[in-house]
Amino acid sequence: QVQLVESGGGLVKPGGSLRLSCAASGFTFSDYYMSWIRQAPGKGLEWVSYISSSSSYTNYADSVKGRFTISRDNAKNSLYLQMNSLRAEDTAVYYCARVGQWLTDMDVWGKGTTVTVSS
Amino acid sequence: QSALTQPPSVSGSPGQSVTISCTGTSSDVGSYNRVSWYQQPPGTAPKLMIYEVSNRPSGVPDRFSGSKSGNTASLTISGLQAEDEADYYCSSYTSSSTWVFGGGTKLTVL
């Protein structure tokens, strides 16, 4: 079945770095845009970044622009999020999501991986 | 990138209908039919319930419906059931080629 599984979360000090991964299965990964969305503890959803199917296009929320980099490896059916210069406010559950074919929605979500930024 | 505006909470009794509003701007909700709604029960990942303003993915009950007028989209849940209790989020594609979510609405089934 269609599945997304995130990994790579953990505890990191302010200013540190972390790389999240998302393994996709059950669909043709290279046909879809992919996105990262995060949710701080007790807060709502915040869109973070997206990448086009061929990696030609990327975009970021202002809150992470210049610090986070999204990438993908279609041969490995994997999506990544490199997070640098982490701040306490980056503490959240990070979800990987498949973008619907007409870019209208996120139609498949992973269960998320938790990132905690604290000294 | 300001969040879309949703009421913090709504409630209704089993069998009743509730409507959750989602107000954006002419740069997001008002410009595109790329409005979607997500259901998130406590401790779980979000689930797509409505896409392109009013379309339901396979498996979503027809009790869930969506609409849009100007800069405001709405999600209506009719025939409320206990299992509908969850947080609901709207989302829209924007003129900056980004997505924006609403702040979320907690639905309580009384």
Distance (Å) from the alpha carbon of B108 to chain A's nearest alpha carbon: 17
State the smallest CA–CA distance between residue B70 and chain A in angstroms: 18
Q: Do A35 and B99 touch (CB under 8 A)?
A: yes
B101 to chain A: which residues are within 8 Å by CB? 37, 44-47
pLDDT above 90: residue A112: yes
Q: Work out the mean pLDDT of chain B and round it to a whole number.
A: 95
Most B CBs within 10 Å: which of A57, A105, A107, A111, as the mutation test of the B interface? A105
SS3 (DSSP) at A56: coil
Cα separations in angstroms, B21 against A110, B37, B42, B52? 26, 11, 21, 15
Looking at this protein, which amino acid is placed at residue A113?
T
The pLDDT, as a whole number, for residue A13 is 97
Question: Do the chains contact at A59 and B98, CB–CB below 8 Å?
Answer: yes
Q: Which of B37, B49, B98 is nearest to A47 (CA)?
A: B98
- Mean pLDDT to the nearest integer, B78-93: 97
CB contact under 8 A, B89 and A103: no
On chain A, the residues whose CB falls within 8 A of the CB of B98 are: 47, 50, 59-61
Per-residue pLDDT, A84: 98
Q: What tokens were used for A38?
A: 């995060």
Of B3, B97, B103, the CB nearest to A59: B97
Per residue in A90-100, pLDDT (tens digit) is: 999 999 999 99
Q: pLDDT tens-digit profile of A24-78?
A: 999 999 999 999 999 999 999 999 999 999 999 999 999 999 999 999 999 999 9
Give me the pLDDT at residue A25, please: 98
- The answer, for A106 touching chain B at a CB cutoff of 8 Å, is yes
A/B interface, count of CB pairs below 8 Å: 70
- The conformation of residue B26, written as its DSSP 8-state character, comes to T
How does strand B105-109 pair with strand B9-12? parallel
Q: With contact defined as beta carbons under 8 Å apart, do B2 and B101 qualify?
A: no
Per DSSP, what are the bridge partners of residue A71?
A: A80
Tokens of B92: 């829209």
- Mean pLDDT rounded to a whole number for chain A: 97
pLDDT of residue A19: 98
CA distances for A117 relative to A84, A91, B53, angstroms: 11, 5, 36
A15 pLDDT above the threshold of 90: yes
**Whole-number Å distance between alpha carbons of B45 and B53:** 21
Task: Name the residue among A107, A85, A110 with its Cα closest to residue A8.
Answer: A110
pLDDT value for B2: 83
* Residue-level pLDDT at A103: 85
Contact B48 A105 (CB under 8 A): yes
Q: Which residues of B touch A (CB under 8 A)?
A: 1, 3, 33-34, 36, 38, 40, 44-48, 51-52, 57, 87, 89, 91, 93, 96-104
Of A53, A113, A107, A105, which is closest to residue A81 (Cα–Cα)? A113
What is the spatial distance between Cα B64 and Cα A24, in angstroms, rounded to a whole number? Answer: 29
**Model confidence band, residue B90 (pLDDT cutoffs 50, 70, 90):** very high
3-state DSSP assignment of residue B6? coil
Place of tokens 């709502």: A44
For position A102, what pLDDT does the model report?
84
Q: pLDDT for B27-60, tens place per residue?
A: 999 998 999 999 999 999 999 999 999 999 999 9
